[in-house]
Structures are given as C-alpha cells and as structure tokens.
Structure 1
Amino acid sequence: MKLLDKYIISKFLTAFFFTVVMLVSVICVIDYTEKNDDFIHHNLSFGHVFTHYYVYLFPYFANLLSPITIFLAVVFVTARLAARTEIVAMLASGMSFMRLLLPYLMGASIIGVLTFGLVGWVIPKGTKEIVLFESLHVKEPWRFEGRNVHMKISPKSYVYLESYSSGNNTGFHFALETFDGTILRRRMTADNLAWDSVKHAWKMSPQLVRTFVGTQQETLHTIPARDTTMNLYPKDFANTYRLAETLTSPELDALIANKILRGADDTAQYLSVHYERFAYPFDILILTFIGVV
C-alpha cells in the first residue's frame, strides 16, 4: 500500500464515520422527540432510555444507512480532491482511473466486511433489546389473539386450534390432521393441550383418533391423556414483531430450515432478510464505484 492509498483511505473512512455519526445523531434526536411522551408516561429518565434503548438503536440506524452514507462520503472526498486539483495531478502523472479507484474499493471492502459481521452477529442482539424496550414502554402490551389457527408443522401434517392463550400456553379444541396428497388419512382431536416447560412437552387431554382407509372405511380409537411432543412450540405463538431482525445469521438460517422442513408458506420474509444481509457489502462496493465515477 502506497502513501497515496493511505491518504485517500484515511480521508474516505474519516468522512464516512463523520457522516454516519452526524446523520444518525439527528435521526435519534428526532426519534427521541417523537417518543418522549411515552418515556414520560413510564417515568423513564434520559439515562435509562439512553443506556437501554439508544445505545442499541444508534448502531442499528448506522448499519441501515451505511450504503447511502458511504455514497455521500465518496462524493464528498472526491469533490474535495477535485477542488484541490489533486485528482488532476494524479491523472497527469500517468495514474489510470482504475488505479485511482483502488483505495476507494479498499476502504469500501473494510467497511463491507465490518458491516457484514455487525449485521449478522452483533446488531441482531441489539435489535432484540430494542424490540424488548419498545414492547415494554412504547407499544401496547402484546398477547396472542388469533382464533381458528391453522398451522403446517410438516409437509403432510396440519394443526388446528380454535383458540390459544399465550399467558399460560394452553390451546383449546385441538386437531392434528395428516394428509396423503389431498386425501385426509388421519385426524386426532383433543379438547385442550398445555405446554409443560419442565418436560418440554405438551400435556394433552384424552384424544379421539380417526383413521381413514380408502374412501369409505373409517376406524376410531381413543388415547388417554398423555404427554407428547410434536413440531409445535409456544414460540410459534409468540410475538413475531421484527423477529427476523432479532436473530443472528446462524439462528435465522436454523429458523428458515425448520420452516422449510415444515413446508411452511411464510419463509419469504425470512429469506428476504437473509439475502439482504449478504447484499450489504455488495451494495457498499457498487455505491462506492458510482460515487467515484
């Protein structure tokens, strides 16, 4: 790395971090102004809000705005170099445009790698704290209010619940249906089931099982109350507000794999976040190139 490369990279990184700090600071001030009534309502001091909310919100916004801030930083640095005729001197000395672009791309690569690490492992943990704080002090208390819930738990199995109480993790009027293609092969029903957090299993009331053979034959038998496991958990009824953003990349991949295994139809939103995280470094490189050009 030559002295010129170090010079441009230092100018570039300095401009980038300065732009991030200034822009995100303004956004946080505006955000604080909008939510101040909620903070006063809950008797929260500025110190508590800062250490439990804005210390996590600042890097979240910084990462969110990193592509546009890096573009602004590139334009600013290039304009400064051009105003001082430094770029003219570089090109007049025989330096090619691609050689001039190299230190910009090196700086963008540093930021891209840093951003990829932050967005995949660090920022999701902070986002989890943001969501927790907002659920306690900004948004209305959450509870599961779904009725007549249908959920796919495997490629061939569907669960139905007339209602579910998230307070005590209890479901009512439960049904588990197993299909072969479009043909119903088995249906198990129970009045209720409750989650046992010690055994990590469902306590299920007596069940009635219907097994369908062919198109007209049907057998019935009962099963006494028991503990059982299935690919269904209380977290499936938990608050999914910004769930994908609160998961690290390995956790997000595990969630997507589980949904694909189930044959669920709502994987698109999680795959979108997954691909978005991998796209960030490339966004930065592309916008850096555009800014220099």
Structure 2
Amino acid sequence: MKIIDWYILKRYLATFFVMLLMFIPIGIVIDVAEKINKILDKKVPFVKVAAYYGDFTIYFANLLFPIFLFLSIIWFTSKLASNTEIVAILSSGISFTRFLRPYIIGASIISVLALLMGMFFYPAASKGFNDFRYTYLSSKEVRKTTEVYKKISETETVYVSSFSYTTNSGYNFKLEKSKVNKDKKEDKELDYIINANSIKWNPKDSTYTLSGYKKRTIGKMEDKLESESSKTFKFNFKPDDLTPTIYAAETMTPQELNEFIDGETKRGSGNLNAYLVVKYKKWSIPVSAFILTTIAVAVSSMKRRGGMGVNLAIGIALAFIYIFFDKIFGTLAEKSSMPPLLAVWIPNIAFGILAIYLLRNARR
C-alpha cells in the first residue's frame, strides 16, 4: 500500500471509531435520564445495571451502524475535499477508482467486524438488553402470543388464539390428531378434534387443564362426541412451544438459529419469517458497509457551496432512509407473505443501484 492509502485508511477507521465513542455515551446518558426513575423505584442492583449498559452499547452500535458509517466517511472525506486534497490526489494521475481502494479496504475491515458482532456478540447482548428491559422497565408481557397455529408432531397440530406465559393460560384451544391411512401411507385421515374454551398449564405435574372441553372422534359411519366442563390432559408440548420470547430470534447464534429453523420446518410449523429475517440480516448488514461507503464517498468527494454541513445533511438523510427501508421491509416480511430473503436484501439492492449511479457521476 502507498502512503496515500495508509493516510485515507487511518482516517477512515479512526473517524469511524471516534464517531462510535462520541455517540454511544450520548445514547447512554439519554437512556439513563429516561429510565433512572424506574431503576431506582425497583431498586435494580448496580451490577445488573452495569451489565445492561454493556449490552446496550453493543445493541445501540449495531442498530445505528449505517448512521455511524455514513457520518464518519462523509466527515473526513468532506474535510479532504474542502482542503482540496482530493483535487491534488486526482490531479496527480490517480483515477477515482484507484482513489476508492483504501475506502474499500476500510469497508472490508468494518464488514468483518460487523459480521463477527452479528454472529457472536450481538445475540448475547440482545438477550441481556431485552431481558433487563422487559424484567425491570416495561409493563408489556414479554411472552404473550396470539393466533398460534403449530404442528407439534407428524400427526398433531394445535391452535390457540392467545397464550400468556405469565399466567400459564390461553384461550380458544384446538388440537387436531390425524392417523395414517393404512392403504395409502402418504395420506392422513383425521382421527379426532379437541376443543376447549381455555387451557391452563399445571407446572407441578406438567399437565394441562381444559375448560369447556369437547372432543369429536371421527368414525366411519358416525362421529363420537364427548364433553366435560373441565378435563386434565398430558400433551407432548410445553408452554415454551406456544410462547417463545418476542425477541428470541435476535438472541440466537447462527448455529442455534439454523437448528431452530430446521427443526420447526420439519415439524411443519409456519410463521418462521421473523427468524429468517434475522438469519439473512446477519449477512446483509456486512455487505451494506461497501454500499454505504461508496455512496458516502460519492456524495462528499466534491466541494459544495454549503460546505461540510450540506454533505452531512445529505448523509444523515440517506442513512435514515436506509434504516427506514430496512425496518419497513423487515416488518413486511414478518407480517405478510413477502419472501424474507427478498425483504432483507431490498435496501441493499436499492442503495446498490444508487451507489452505482452516484459513483458514475462522481467520476465525471
């Protein structure tokens, strides 16, 4: 590498990490000011508060990664442009593509760090951050699910309109049991259906009490019906199967996430989009470092009448648009039929096209 490469690369990395060190303490101060009353009221031990803000640092840095990257590159590249250093570099015969090389090397380093953080550090930090928030700071229930439809075995499927992990109870329970057709092994016939107005988990003996119990057994000539006001059963599923934590996907390592998705897929479970979105984001975020770097250089490498302020305004706007795209398409993938892979990569595809366009204009 030449002197100019080291010069730009050092400023790239130094500005990025200084930006992190500047904004993370600000985020912590704001968070402390907002939550200090609840922390004092609930007398949360200092050790847990300190651990929470350690997790908060990683969580916050990962969440605002695009903004930090954009601002740091635009900041020091705008200074290079205002000091006519870029003009001098290009006038010496170095092409704009060659000028980009140290930026791409810097983006590679940041990309590897983002990948390692997303794979190994972020899951644990996310668990600590969310556990603390829901345990001490939030009035919301962390494990309450609605409209659960889950296949618990090859022949059994359960449905419950809502289930609360706190009260160990749910409403509008339904279990469908099938049997394999002896003549056609691939076909399954409905054996019986169990309905109940409510279901309650009994942790002492690992049983469930069904209120408003009704069972319909399918017969060849006629069905058999039975009903009771209350009946206790031992099913082969646990409350954890009905109520995963709402942030469970974020807390899994890649191996745990893949094993969970494979297991649920084999069981025929639906609604895995939230887990697939997290899985694909672990790879899309590192790639975004290259796209965002290219856009930031293209935007800030020219002198503008408004100076650095205009470049920073453009950078902040683009960074927030990127985060908006990322959040909106991620939510669409979780709540609709949009393919998670496409939803996760749409922001990178859209901003990749923008990067190519801006880069071509910058070369001119």
Given the two structures, how large is their TM-score scaled by the length of structure 2? 0.65
Cα gap change, 1:11/1:148 in structure 2, threshold over 3 Å: closer, same or farther? closer
User: Match for residue 14 of structure 2?
Assistant: 14
User: Which one-letter code corresponds to 1:94 in the other structure?
Assistant: G
Structure 1 residue 285: deviation in Å?
0.8
User: Match for residue 31 of structure 2?
Assistant: 31
Superposed, which structure 2 residues align to 1:33-112 within 5 Å? 33-44=33-44, 47-48=46-47, 50-112=49-111
Structure 1 residue 259 and structure 2 residue 264: aligned?
yes
Distance 2:143 2:61 in 1: 33
% identical equivalent positions: 33
Distance 1:163 1:81 in 2: 58
Cα gap change, 1:4/1:149 in structure 2, threshold over 3 Å: closer, same or farther? closer
Q: Is the 8 A contact 2:201 2:239 kept in 1?
A: no
User: Which one-letter code corresponds to 2:61 in the other structure?
Assistant: A
User: Match for residue 238 of structure 2?
Assistant: 233
Structure 1 residue 227: deviation in Å?
7.0
**Paired residue secondary structure (1:241):** coil
Structure 1 residue 11: deviation in Å?
0.4
Structure 1 residue 56: deviation in Å?
0.8
Q: Is the 8 A contact 2:145 2:243 kept in 1?
A: no
**Paired residue secondary structure (2:152):** strand
Structure 1 residue 39: deviation in Å?
1.0
Distance 2:147 2:273 in 1: 23
Distance 1:244 1:209 in 2: 35
Structure 1 residue 152: deviation in Å?
3.0
Distance 2:147 2:4 in 1: 67
Structure 1 residue 262: deviation in Å?
2.7
Superposed, which structure 2 residues align to 1:1-293 within 5 Å? 1-44=1-44, 47-48=46-47, 50-140=49-139, 142=141, 150-154=149-153, 157-160=156-159, 166=165, 176-179=175-178, 184-187=190-193, 194=202, 212=218, 214=220, 216-217=221-222, 230=236, 232-238=237-243, 240-293=245-298
Q: Is the 8 A contact 1:173 1:192 kept in 2?
A: no
1:22-51 deviation digits (Å, cap 9, x = unpaired):
122212211111111101212246x54652
1:74-129 deviation digits (Å, cap 9, x = unpaired):
11121122222221222112111111101101101111111111112111101111
Cα gap change, 1:291/1:167 in structure 2, threshold over 3 Å: closer, same or farther? closer
Q: Is the 8 A contact 1:124 1:245 kept in 2?
A: yes
Q: Is the 8 A contact 1:52 1:133 kept in 2?
A: no
Distance 1:148 1:88 in 2: 61
Structure 1 residue 264: deviation in Å?
2.5
Cα gap change, 1:138/1:171 in structure 2, threshold over 3 Å: closer, same or farther? closer
Distance 1:203 1:49 in 2: 35
Distance 1:144 1:282 in 2: 33
Q: Is the 8 A contact 1:163 1:171 kept in 2?
A: yes
Alignment size in residue pairs? 282
Q: Which moved more, 1:251-260 or 1:13-22?
A: 251-260
Q: Which moved more, 1:159-168 or 1:281-290?
A: 159-168
Unaligned runs of 5+ in 1: none
Q: Is the 8 A contact 1:20 1:69 kept in 2?
A: yes
1:2-38 deviation digits (Å, cap 9, x = unpaired):
2222211110001001112212221221111111110
**Paired residue secondary structure (1:159):** strand
Unaligned runs of 5+ in 2: 180-186, 226-231, 299-364
Q: Which moved more, 1:102-111 or 1:184-193?
A: 184-193
Cα gap change, 1:170/1:50 in structure 2, threshold over 3 Å: closer, same or farther? closer
Given the two structures, how large is their TM-score scaled by the length of structure 1? 0.79
Q: Is the 8 A contact 1:170 1:195 kept in 2?
A: no
Cα gap change, 1:92/1:173 in structure 2, threshold over 3 Å: closer, same or farther? closer
User: Which one-letter code corresponds to 1:123 in the other structure?
Assistant: Y
Cα gap change, 1:138/1:128 in structure 2, threshold over 3 Å: closer, same or farther? same
Distance 1:217 1:185 in 2: 12
Structure 1 residue 240: deviation in Å?
1.7
